[in-house]
A and B are shown apart, each in its own frame.
Chain A
Amino acid sequence: MAVGVGVHLLMVFLSVAPPNAVSKQHGKAVEAWVFPEFEQNWKLFAPNPLQQNIAVQVRAEVRMKDGGLITTGWTDLSAQDGAAIHGNLAPSHAQQNELRRGWDFLTATHTDDNRPVGMRGALSEDYLRRIVVLRLYRTDPTSRDGVIQRVQVRSRTTNVQPPSWSDEQVPDKPYYRELPWWTVRADEAAGGVR
């Protein structure tokens, strides 16, 4: 029992410690022990907290009932999340984590020129596309009237301005990262959670 406790704690310790000689040598064993059920990440707001607001925005190409094709303007889905969180004592994970972490998942599994890496890259595109389609059908008037054919997602990154007493200067111009248009599958357009 004591051995079991010791080994478990050592493995978990090595998994959260910075890469070192021991963990480099036994990385495979540590990974095999810790994943998937004992995975952990406690770098909460560390080494530095995030200092940018990253908003996910979307626009859609919608086939209307009369056969016409309309391209909508950009909808700021993160602003919708923000509004839902505002004055909320217990924000839902659907508001606070879904889109935010969905975007993190995508950027973590894509190259800088927006190409997916491996299975997870492909999965992250499917996931984000399904999230934005769900949100558009729920809130965008044009999308609600027609059928979404394609969507395009972009992120808008703005620096949090330093505190008023600080003499630090950071650019206040937003930075955009635009992904290619994605085709929405027929079953996605029809179904899903609304």
Chain B
Amino acid sequence: MNRAPATLSHALTRVTEAALGPYQSAVIRIGFALTWLLYLLREFPYRQELYGPSGPWSLAMVRRLTGDNHAFTALTWVNGQPWFEFCYALAVLAGAALLVGWRTRTASVLFMVGVVSLQNRSIFIGDGGDNVLHLMSIYLVFTRCGQVWSLDARRAARAAAARARGERVRADRTGPALWAVLGLALVTATATGRLFGNSWLIPALLWAVWAALGLWWLVQRRARSDEPRILLDVIANVLHNGALVVIMAEACLIYATAGWYKIQGSRWQDGTAVYYPLHLDYFTPWPGLAGLLSASATMLTIVAYGTVTVQVAFPFTLFNRRVKNVLLVLLILEHAVIAVALGLPFFSLAMITADAVFLPTSFLLRIGRLAARARGRFVREGGGTVPAPRSPEESTSGHVGFTA
């Protein structure tokens, strides 16, 4: 009779004492940031047409639509070209900062503002990939996704090593400065009535994160006892773990919806479904490849049935590690083929990233070691003076689980 409460308290301890899945949350941070960054760079020559103030979907039209659907976008705050260019550049920088894990929490907030602003400004030019990024950019804000494989983690490890050697660590100046600048921006945007002018959810989130970061800094520096620090840590861990659950559930929902609706389709039943997208003019960058892929009736049927089976089955296989991993490989492979065959690289990269949240830690660690070794070789050949990279475990010891 005592087992249930014991299990419950064990679970409670787990979700409060640590931000789980440090490598998984880092890999999705890197993946989504990379997808968005590559997308923005690819669209740079087309940015005026897609998002610019004088594009076909003009600012006046944006205002009429967002006034009706109350979607958040910073791009309507100021008219004119300079504001747009500033926002686009900021979106690129936020993507880069999140990719390398520089001031990760702040970067994730700015990343979300960039993604949501650009997408909500021009909702009719996006596709499924944009939709994935949109949701994930919001969820990522709640995660501690910079615990490993980030500049933040490296900085923290160096500070800890210096402290261990008995050296004094210089107080961080960049963080408070960044916080002050963003605070000024928030005050300005709020006071001029722009921030909350059309929506409340994202603006409220921005203020909440800003306030929390301030509180965090204050407690780290000034608190006399350990308790406030531990309390904030617990809250951050619970938020992180909750967000990670949402991210995983969202990925399952994507596959479940896609799979269960396909089952009802006659083309998926007769096995020709895959043939048709491969013959749509908007999705055949390589007609020769499309022809090759759709040459065999048997192959097409196997792929159609396989796709539906894997998509429907995926959420249930999470209960079995080995089967889950096999399905993950299949899903990632399929998205890699879609990237090329249907000309949807950004959609595919976003989906592969969503899949990556389910990759086993041991596999991610192996990838991390390979990357570190490759980098070490590269840096040494370059004759650089950068110190040899730490292995992931080394650089994160003491940061993965807060056991205070």
Contact = CB atoms under 8 A, between A and B. Distances in A.
B257 A36 contact: no
A4 interface: yes
Nearest to B72: A37
Interface centre among B245, B300, B343 (most CB of A within 10 A): B343
A93 to B, nearest CB: 5
Interface stretch (A60-68, A162-170, A172-180): A162-170
Given A8-B246, A49-B267, A127 B124 contact: yes
A51 B42 CA distance: 29
Interface centre among A13, A38, A49 (most CB of B within 10 A): A49
B324 to A, nearest CB: 20
A91 B342 CA distance: 10
Contacts of A21: none
B331 to A, nearest CB: 13
B302 to A, nearest CB: 14
Nearest to B298: A165
B52 A97 contact: no
Nearest to B235: A1
Interface string B247-288: 001100110011001111111100011011101111111110
Contacts of B61: 123, 126-127
Contact of B345 (A51, A86, A90, A163): A90
A42 B346 contact: no
Given A47-B264, A160-B279, A94 B253 contact: no
B43 interface: yes
Contacts of B277: 45, 49-50
Interface in B336-358: 340, 343, 345-346
A130 interface: yes
B49 A37 contact: no
A111 interface: no
A115 interface: no
B253 A101 contact: no
B165 to A, nearest CB: 39
Nearest to B134: A37
A116 B72 CA distance: 26
A90 B38 CA distance: 10
Contacts of B131: 39-41
Interface residues of B, number: 75
B265 A47 contact: yes
Contacts of B249: 9
A43 interface: yes
A94 B51 CA distance: 10
B19 interface: no
Contact of B285 (A38, A86, A123): A86
Contact of A93 (B126, B138, B253): B126
A51 B57 contact: no
A73 interface: no
B54 interface: yes
B372 to A, nearest CB: 29
Contacts of A92: 42-43, 45-46, 50
Given A4-B242, A94-B46, A97-B125, A42 B54 contact: no
A48 B70 contact: no
Contacts of A100: 282
Contacts of B43: 92-94
Interface string A25-44: 00000000001111111111
B388 to A, nearest CB: 35
Nearest to B238: A1
A67 to B, nearest CB: 28
B261 A163 contact: no
B285 A163 contact: no
A51 B276 CA distance: 6
A55 interface: yes
B167 interface: no
A23 to B, nearest CB: 14
A193 B54 contact: yes
A172 B68 CA distance: 42
Contacts of B175: none
Which 9 pairs across A and B sit closest by C-beta, in order of nearness? A47-B265, A46-B261, A130-B56, A42-B257, A36-B71, A48-B265, A46-B262, A94-B46, A82-B281
Given A42-B253, A134-B56, 13 more contacts: A37-B72, A40-B135, A43-B258, A44-B128, A45-B258, A47-B263, A82-B282, A85-B284, A85-B343, A93-B43, A93-B50, A98-B124, A193-B48
